Amino acid sequence: MTAAVFDFAPLLPAGLPAAAAKWTGLAKYSFVGGNNDPDQVPLEGLIDAVNAVLKREGRTLATYGLASGPQGYLPLRQFLTAKLKADAGIACTADEILIVSGSLQALDLVNATLLARGDTVIIERDSYQGSINRLTRLGVNIVGIPLDHEGMRMDALAEALADLKSRGITPKYIYTIPTVQNPTGTIMPVARRTELLRLAEQYGVPIFEDDCYADLIWDGQRPPAIHAMSKTGNVIHIGSFSKSIAPALRVGYIVAGWGVMSRMLSLKTDAGSGALEQMVLAEYCAPHFSTHVPKLTRGLRAKLETLMEALNEQFGTSAEFEDPKGGIFLWVKLPDQVDTLKLYQAALAAGVSINPGPEWSVDKAYAGSRLRLCFASPTHEEIREGIALLAEVCHREFGVPERSANIEKRGRA
Ligand SMILES: Cc1ncc(COP(=O)(O)O)c(C=O)c1O
C-alpha cells in the first residue's frame, strides 16, 4: 500500500505567487534571458583565480562572511570602489558597498526597505520584467514614463511628478536603468541625468539607479553614474557581475549611504552571499577586468550585427529597431497586427523563444507588437537560423513579413 501524498495546498498563505512551471530546457533558438556568451566566459582566468585564492585564503571559508563582515568579501568591495571611481565616477568607500546574490537580491532589498502596499513608484514605461513583476507583486502603484532615444523623457517625468503632487502623492523612488536601458538599449546623456537629479530633488524623491549593463558599451564610453552626480546622497546604485563575467555566479552589489544601507543590511538575512564566487571574482577582476570587457563587447557587437542583418534579410522593413550602443538585447517593433504574446507561443512551439513586449512594459497595448531579442548566448549560426524560423512563424500567424515583398533589404546607418 502506498502512503497518501501529503497535501501542502491548504497550508499556503494567501498572496503567494503562482506555482513555478517545471523547467523544460532552453529552446533550440533561445533569444531570451540575460545569458552571456559561453565562449566569452574567461575560464582560464577563473580557474587560475580559484586555485590561487583558495590556496592563499581557503581557510577563511570556515568563518561566515570570510571574516570580512556582513557586507561581503572585502577585496571584492575594494575592487569595486576602484572600478566604480574609474568607470562611473562614483566616489565611495568599501563600507558603502553591499555584495548581494545577483542584482535581483538588490532589487528585493531596496524594495523591502522602502515599499509598502499602496505606495507609488515611477519607472520607465518599458522596463526590466523582473522589476515590473516585483512591483506588481508588492501591490505598489506603478507610474510608467515614456522613453525616447535618450532614455526616460524628462518632460513626461516632470508632468507625472506634478500630477502626483497635486494628488498629495510622493513617489517612493524613481527607478531607472539609465546606461543601456532594458529593453530599449538607450543611454541617458549627462544633461538628462542632471535634469533627472534636479526634478528628484525638487520633489524630494530618491532615485534608484540600476546600472547592470553599464560595462557593455561598444565604445567603452559611459556617462557618469547618476549616483556620482548627486550632491545629496539621494541615489541608490546597483550593479552586477552577471553581464560582464557570468550570470550563474550570482554576484551583484548595492552602493548606498549608511543610513539606508544599514536598513538593507538588516533585511539581508542569508548570512552573506556565496563566498567562493566573491573570492574568485575579486582575484580575477583586479588584474583582468579591464582587458576582459573590451573583448567581450567586441564579440557581443558582432552578434548584434548578425542579428540586425538577419532581421533585415528576413523581415525587411517590417522589423523596426534602433541600433543600440551596447548591451545584450534588441527591442524590435513589428507591424501593429502582430500580437507578440501570440507570436511567442507559436514561435516557442517551433523551437524559438522570444520575449514578448507586453512582459517588458507597463503599457501592454503600446508594447503589444514589440519584442525583445537577446543575442549574447546563441551562436551566429543560431541567430541566423532562429530569425529565419521566427519570420516563417510570424508570416504564417500574421502575414508578416509579406513573402511577396520579401525581402527588400534596407540599409541602416
Ligand atoms: C535591469 C536589470 N536589473 C537586474 C537584473 C538582474 O540581474 P542579476 O541578478 O543577474 O544581477 C537584470 C537581469 O537581466 C536586469 O536586466
- Tens digits of per-residue pLDDT, 248-291? 999 999 999 999 999 999 999 999 999 999 999 999 999 999 99
Q: How far is the CA of 101 from the centre of ligand 1 (A)?
A: 11
Q: How far is the CA of 8 from the centre of ligand 1 (A)?
A: 32
pLDDT at 15: 85
Domain count, the chain: 2
The response to whether residue 130 sits with its C-beta less than 6 Å from ligand 1 reads yes
- Tens digits of per-residue pLDDT, 281-299? 999 999 999 999 999 999 9
The CATH number assigned to the domain holding 310 equals 3.90.1150.10
Cβ(205)–Cβ(316) under 8 Å?
A: no
The response to whether residue 177 sits with its C-beta less than 6 Å from ligand 1 reads yes
271 with 374, same domain: the answer is no
230 with 326, same domain: the answer is no
pLDDT at 115: 98
Task: Write down the residue that cell numbers 539609465 correspond to.
Answer: 178
200 with 302, same domain: the answer is no
Domain boundary among 267, 288, 309: 288
pLDDT at 226: 98
pLDDT at 1: 65
Q: Is residue 10 part of a domain?
A: no
Coil, strand or helix: which one is 266?
A: helix
**Cα gap 68→83, rounded to integer Å:** 19
More confident residue, 189 or 2: 189
- Tens digits of per-residue pLDDT, 152-194? 999 999 999 999 999 999 999 999 999 999 999 999 999 999 9
Q: How far is the CA of 178 from the centre of ligand 1 (A)?
A: 13
302 with 237, same domain: the answer is no
Q: Is residue 407 part of a domain?
A: no
- Tens digits of per-residue pLDDT, 306-328? 999 999 999 999 999 999 999 99
Q: Is residue 361 part of a domain?
A: yes
Q: Which of 80, 98, 101, 103 to mutate to test the pocket of ligand 1 (most atoms within 8 A of CB)?
A: 103
Q: Which of 128, 360, 373 to mutate to test the pocket of ligand 1 (most atoms within 8 A of CB)?
A: 128
Cβ(307)–Cβ(376) under 8 Å?
A: no
Q: Is residue 118 part of a domain?
A: yes
Question: If 0-12 CB within 10 Å is exposed, 13-18 middle and 19+ buried, where does residue 299 land?
Answer: middle
Domain boundary among 256, 288, 320: 288
Q: Is residue 410 part of a domain?
A: no
373 with 254, same domain: the answer is no
pLDDT at 254: 98
Q: Is residue 408 part of a domain?
A: no
The response to whether residue 104 sits with its C-beta less than 6 Å from ligand 1 reads yes
The response to whether residue 103 sits with its C-beta less than 6 Å from ligand 1 reads yes
353 with 266, same domain: the answer is no
164 with 232, same domain: the answer is yes
Domain boundary among 288, 313, 331: 288
Q: Is residue 16 part of a domain?
A: no
With a cut of 70, say whether residue 408 has pLDDT above it: no
250 with 301, same domain: the answer is no
The CATH number assigned to the domain holding 218 equals 3.40.640.10
The response to whether residue 247 sits with its C-beta less than 6 Å from ligand 1 reads yes
**Cα gap 326→303, rounded to integer Å:** 11
What number is the average pLDDT over the span 78-104? 98
262 with 124, same domain: the answer is yes
311 with 271, same domain: the answer is no
The response to whether residue 212 sits with its C-beta less than 6 Å from ligand 1 reads yes
The residue range of the domain holding 308 is 25-41+291-398
pLDDT at 406: 46
54 with 162, same domain: the answer is yes
Q: Which of 99, 240, 355 to mutate to test the pocket of ligand 1 (most atoms within 8 A of CB)?
A: 240
Q: How far is the CA of 131 from the centre of ligand 1 (A)?
A: 9
pLDDT at 351: 98
247 with 353, same domain: the answer is no
With a cut of 60, say whether residue 239 has pLDDT above it: yes
Q: How far is the CA of 212 from the centre of ligand 1 (A)?
A: 6
Give the closest residue (by CA) to ligand 1 atom 15: 128
Mapping DSSP onto H, E and C, the string for 133-171 reads HHHHHHCCEEEEECEECCEECHHHHHHHHHHHHHCCCCC
Q: Is residue 405 part of a domain?
A: no
